[in-house]
Amino acid sequence: MPSTSSPRRAAVIGSNRIPFGKAGGAYANATNLDMLGAALSGLVARFQLQGERLGDVAGGAVLKHSRDFNMTREAVLGSALSPQTPAFDVQRACGTSLETVTAIANKIALGQIDSGIAAGVDSTSDAPIVVSDRLRRTLIKLSRAKTLPDRLKLVASIRPGDLAPVAPDVAEPRTGLSMGEHQALTTLKWKITREAQDEIALASHTNLAQAYEDGLFDDLITPYRGLVRDESLRSDTSAEKLAKLKPVFGKGLGEGVATMTAGNSTPLSDGAATVLLGTDEWAAERGLPVLAHVVDAEAAAVDFVRGEEGLLMGGAYAVPRLLHRNKLVLADFDFIEIHEAFASTVLTTTAAWADEKFMVSKVGLPPLGKLNPAVLNVAGSSLAAGHPFGATGARIVGTLASLLSRAKQARPDGGGVRGLISVCAAGGQAVAMILEAA
C-alpha cells in the first residue's frame, strides 16, 4: 500500500542496541535472552519506558534454543516495562528484525496499537547443539516408559554413535552449500572483482569508525559486558591489509577466481538490537522525538535451489518492486543501506539494479540505474559492525532513522529526506524498507 493513502505512518522514535561481539568474544557466555534483555533495558532507560504498557513487542532470533520458544515475552518480563506488555517471536533468517519492524509498524499504521518495540538478537557463541534424531527419539520414549525393565531396555539401546552432537551450520538445507559458497557463485556470475569487494569492506570500517567519532552511537548503543564498541570494527585496517588475506569461499570454482576473503565477508557475531516505534501523538505525549516514519516494506524470494538465481539476490527483486509501488527512483534517496552479508552481495545487488537485461527479463521492471556510492552505508554496515543474524535489521533501522533526522535538521526546508534498506536472507529471501525523515 503506498504511503500516501495510509491513514497514519508509524514513527521511528529511537533505538538501542548493544555493541556487537565476535563469536566466542565478549558475549561468549551470554544467551540470546541475556542480550535481548540488555538491549531492551537500554531502550527503556533511554526513553523512560519504565512501567509503560506498550502495544506490542516483536522480536526474534535465527539460532534459537527450544527453551526460548517465548523469548521476546520473557525478555519483556525481565525488563522494567509493564508486565502487561505483550510480545511475540518472529523469524525470517537475516531479515528477522526488519520483519519485526514491519510487523509493529503495520499494527501502528492500522490503528491496532499506538506503540511498540521491534527487536532481534542472535548468538553464534551460544548456538543450540542438537542431539541425533535416534537419541532424541529414545529419550522421549524413556520419559514415557513406566517400568524399570522398560527403561533399562531403552537405555541399553543407546549406541555410542547416537551421542555425537549435531552442530548447527549456515548451509542451505536444500543445496548443502554454505552461504559463502552460494555467494561465490553469484560473485563469479556478475564478475565482481576482489578490489571492488575490498573497497566496500574498507569503507565499512572507515565509516563505522567515523560514526563512533562523530558521537552518532551515543544515543544508539548501550555498552554491555565491558564491550563499548563493535568487536569486529578495525579502525586501523587498510586496502593493503585487506589485499593480503587469502580467499575462503569459491576456492573450488577454478584457478584464480576466488575473491571472497575473511576481510570482505561478515564475521559470525553475537548481539541484539531494538527499535521503538509509535504514532506521532504517542511520541508527542511523552516529549519523545520522531526521527523518521516507516513508509513501506517489501519481501521477496528467489528460486536459488535450481540455480535460477543467486541465494542472496532477493534484494535485486524486493527493492525495484518497492520503489515502483512508491513511484520513487534511486536518486530520491539520501541514504541507502544494503546489508553487507558479503561485500559482493552489495555489489551484485547494485549491479543487477543497473542491468537492463536482468531487470526487464527477470524483475519485469525498468532498471534502477547506477547507485551513487556516496549514499551507500555511510555509517558502516555489517562487515565492520558484525552481523548477529536476527539483530541486523533493527540495527540498520535505528542507525538510518538517526541519519535521516540529522540530515533533515541540516536542511529543514529541503523537502523529503529518504532512506532505503535492503537486507538479504537465507532461503533466497530479502526484505526491503523505505524510511522518510520526520
d(CA 267, CA 245): 14
Binding to another protein by residue 29, rule CB under 8 A? no
Interface stretch with another protein, choices 38-46, 140-148, 156-164, 366-374 (CB under 8 A): 38-46
Binding to another protein by residue 218, rule CB under 8 A? yes
d(CA 122, CA 256): 35
Is the CB of residue 427 less than 8 Å from the CB of residue 134?
no
State which residue, 78 or 128, has the beta carbon closest to another protein.
78
Catalytic residue at 94?
A: yes
User: Burial of 298 by CB count in 10 Å (0-12 exposed, 13-18 middle, 19+ buried)?
Assistant: buried
User: Burial of 213 by CB count in 10 Å (0-12 exposed, 13-18 middle, 19+ buried)?
Assistant: exposed
The three cell numbers locating residue 307:
540455480
Binding to another protein by residue 46, rule CB under 8 A? yes
State which residue, 41 or 344, has the beta carbon closest to another protein.
41
CA 70 to chain centre: 20
Q: Which residues of 256-279 are buried (b: 16+ CB within 10 A; e: fewer)?
A: eebbbbebbbbbbbbbbbbbbbbb
Q: Report, in Å, the least distance between residue 80 CB and another protein.
A: 4
State which residue, 50 or 372, has the beta carbon closest to another protein.
50
Q: Report, in Å, the least distance between residue 364 CB and another protein.
A: 47
d(CA 108, CA 7): 10
Among 168, 223, 307, 414, binds another protein (CB under 8 A): 223
User: Burial of 291 by CB count in 10 Å (0-12 exposed, 13-18 middle, 19+ buried)?
Assistant: buried
d(CA 161, CA 135): 9
**Cα separations (Å) of 12 from 113, 170, 292?**
14, 32, 5
Q: What is the C-alpha end-to-end distance of the chain, expressed in Å?
A: 19
Binding to another protein by residue 412, rule CB under 8 A? no
CB contact set of 307 (below 8 Å; sequence gap of 6+): none
Among 65, 134, 141, 286, binds another protein (CB under 8 A): 286
List phi, psi (to 5°) of 79: -100, 180
List 94, 182, 293, 339, catalytic entry: 94
Q: Report, in Å, the least distance between residue 372 CB and another protein.
A: 30
Q: Report, in Å, the least distance between residue 221 CB and another protein.
A: 7
Binding to another protein by residue 221, rule CB under 8 A? yes
Per-state percent for the chain, helix, strand, coil, to nearest 5: 40, 20, 40
Among 8, 28, 78, 80, binds another protein (CB under 8 A): 80
d(CA 178, CA 147): 46
Q: Report, in Å, the least distance between residue 42 CB and another protein.
A: 5
State which residue, 46 or 395, has the beta carbon closest to another protein.
46
Among 23, 75, 203, 288, binds another protein (CB under 8 A): 288
d(CA 36, CA 40): 6
State which residue, 273 or 371, has the beta carbon closest to another protein.
273
Catalytic residue at 424?
A: yes
State which residue, 160 or 287, has the beta carbon closest to another protein.
287
Binding to another protein by residue 50, rule CB under 8 A? yes
The residue among 435, 431, 149 whose CA lies nearest residue 295 is: 435
List 182, 293, 339, 424, catalytic entry: 424
Catalytic residue at 339?
A: no
Interface stretch with another protein, choices 3-11, 101-109, 216-224, 353-361 (CB under 8 A): 216-224
User: Burial of 317 by CB count in 10 Å (0-12 exposed, 13-18 middle, 19+ buried)?
Assistant: buried
Q: Report, in Å, the least distance between residue 304 CB and another protein.
A: 41
Residue type, 198: D
Interface stretch with another protein, choices 166-174, 230-238, 286-294, 326-334 (CB under 8 A): 286-294
Binding flags for another protein, 163-202, as an x/- string (CB under 8 A): ----------------------------------------
State which residue, 268 or 401, has the beta carbon closest to another protein.
401
Q: Report, in Å, the least distance between residue 215 CB and another protein.
A: 7
Binding flags for another protein, 228-257, as an x/- string (CB under 8 A): x-----------------------------
State which residue, 42 or 180, has the beta carbon closest to another protein.
42
Among 33, 38, 61, 297, binds another protein (CB under 8 A): 38
- The set of catalytic residues is 94, 387, 424
Residues that bind another protein (CB under 8 A): 38, 41-42, 44-48, 50-51, 79-80, 215, 217-219, 221-225, 228, 286-289
